[in-house]
Amino acid sequence: MSVTVQDLTRALEAWAPLPFQESYDNAGLQCGDPQMLVKGVLIALDCTPAIIDEAVRRGCNMVVVHHPVIFQPLKRLTGSTEVERTIMRALRLDVAVYAAHTNLDNVRHGVSRKLGEKLGLQNLRVLDPKPGLLAKLITYVPAAHTDAVLQALYAAGAGQIGDYHDCSFRLDGTGTFTPGPGTNPYEGTVGKPQTAPEQRVEVLLPLHLQHKALGALRQAHPYEEVAYEVVKLENVHQDVGSGMVGELPEALSAKEFLRLLRERLHVPVVKHTEHHAVIRKVALCGGAGSFLTKKAVAAGADAYVTGDIKYHEFFAPEGKLMLCDVGHYESEQYTNELFRELLTEKFARTFAVLLAETPTNPVRYDF
């Protein structure tokens, strides 16, 4: 089976949809021909000229990373910065580069969940779910066709609430209409008022799937003119948002918890605030997560684990939890495993999926 760059990006974006990225972000295909056949994929947290060289050396013509190479707009490509040199080298050597960044941070199965699993947390859920990503789709269907229409909508991604699938509501009613000249009504006669037993059907719909769902609705519905409503909701999307929160299997002292962080994350040092109470509920966010400290406190967490905490931000918890900075790279290091798991599952035996050997963490620790 031949797989193009576009095929691979579609798989990645079904898993971590681009509409879930933050407004400042630039996830997606950074460079490369979407129609190029993929020979091998190299996975890394960051893309540098050295990563491009490693990809070529190991027979890969695509690099999948967490952090976008192009984060700020490029006005020229002269090789004066590492970003420019990386893109120029990728183009010269015909290597496609793809980044899944905050879109992967913001899905339930993403970066922070993987971090929580490495720490052994249970009952993981999104710490700060996002509002405004859902709609209610309402349509009116002849009762004999309701199940077929719903199956089409479910297949398009509608009707999911948390871990429950195929969720809908239906209500019996009566539809009225008069077919106009040139119409081909499913039932009734042109020019004559008609009543028909129908069911009002409602499903929850992620807004980024609206076009797909409406196409499925029109395809499955027997009427040539389909009546429907799309109502945007302010409900939070419980599977999409920043950070995670969960519980340790058993409570630990602060000293025991810090040892757990060092051992599981392979970090030589953890910056943290003082904390004397036991730790059971833990919030976390891969990468730079100081913006979630208040959310962690509100969730009743005993500890909050993230990276890139500034000096004054350590005062924010006011002693209500232990704030732990394990480092940006260190909190995201297992993202590469997420990429490998997905691509291996989707494209097994099609091409090699390799983890980069070239170190990209710019931070060093001396003792």
Q: Going by DSSP bridges, is the β-strand pair 40-44/352-355 parallel, antiparallel, or unpaired?
A: parallel
DSSP 246-291: EEEEEEE-HHHHHHHHHHHHT-S--EE----S-EEEEEEEEEE-GG
Is 105 annotated as belonging to a binding site?
yes
- Helix 111-118 / helix 335-347 crossing angle, nearest 10 deg: 110
Which of 178, 196, 188 has its CA nearest to residue 142? 196
Cα 112 to chain centroid distance, Å, stands at 11
Token output for 149 = 């229409």
Instruction: Give dist(CA 49, CA 39) in Å, integer.
Output: 19
Does 66 appear as a known binding residue? yes
Strands (E) in 14-157, as ranges, are 28-31, 40-44, 62-65, 96-99, 122-131, 134-142
Terminal Cα-to-Cα distance of the chain (whole angstroms): 51
Distance of CA 124 to CAs 49, 128, 131, 263, Å?
Answer: 37, 12, 19, 21
How far apart CA 36 and CA 44 sit, in angstroms, is: 20
Contact 58, 42 (CB under 8 A): yes
**Rounded distance between C-alpha atoms, residue 196 and residue 203, angstroms:** 22
Residue 67 in marked binding region: yes
- How many angstroms separate the CA atoms of 266 and 34, rounded? 37
Annotated binding site for a divalent metal cation: 66-67, 105, 328, 332
Annotated binding site: 66-67, 105, 328, 332
